[in-house]
């Protein structure tokens, strides 16, 4: 089963508005945004892709690493990674709630799908994705 999981890719097609950046496909270790395949952590908003997000894992995230996401003034921040999630996100969630920003931490696939739906709904969303 592990071997199958590593080679599996999920294609997403939700292009209601081509001006909105969405995740086209994801697989363990990579995501595709438009025609570009990314294998490193990135920040994705409906209007902009930041390719070089200097983070190692969700477990080590602090407010300093979230500031580039908060610069988009989102009402929802989604963090997606297939690495084990850490309890550190609980403290970040409380800090962001005080700023009226919701934080959701989930698997990479769930984060990609959720981001796409919210972006197409024109919600103020930004995703930090760690393939």
- pTM for this prediction: 0.85
Give mean pLDDT, residues 41-69: 94
Whole-angstrom Cα distance, residue 23 to residue 93?
A: 24
Q: What is the pLDDT of residues 7-39, one digit of tens each?
A: 444 545 545 677 899 999 999 899 999 889 999
Q: What is the mean pLDDT of residues 56-85?
A: 92
Would you say 92 and 101 are in contact if contact means Cβ atoms under 8 Å apart?
A: no
pLDDT digits (tens, 9 = 90+) for 72-82: 999 999 999 98
Structural domains of the chain, with CATH: 2-130 (3.40.1230.10)
What is the C-alpha to C-alpha distance for residues 119 and 86, in angstroms, rounded to an integer? 26
């Amino acid at each position: 089963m592990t071997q199958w999981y590593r080679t599996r890719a999920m294609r997403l097609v939700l292009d209601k508005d081509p001006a909105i950046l969405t995740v086209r496909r994801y697989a363990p270790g990579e995501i595709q945004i438009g025609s570009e395949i990314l294998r490193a952590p990135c920040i994705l908003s409906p209007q902009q892709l930041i390719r070089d997000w200097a983070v190692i894992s969700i477990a080590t995230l602090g407010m300093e690493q979230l500031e580039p996401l908060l610069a988009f003034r989102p009402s929802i921040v989604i963090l997606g990674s297939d690495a084990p999630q850490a309890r550190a996100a609980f403290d970040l969630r409380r800090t962001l709630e005080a700023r009226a920003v919701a934080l959701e931490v989930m698997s990479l696939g769930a984060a990609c799908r959720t981001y796409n739906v919210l972006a197409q709904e024109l919600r103020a969303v930004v995703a930090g994705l760690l393939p």
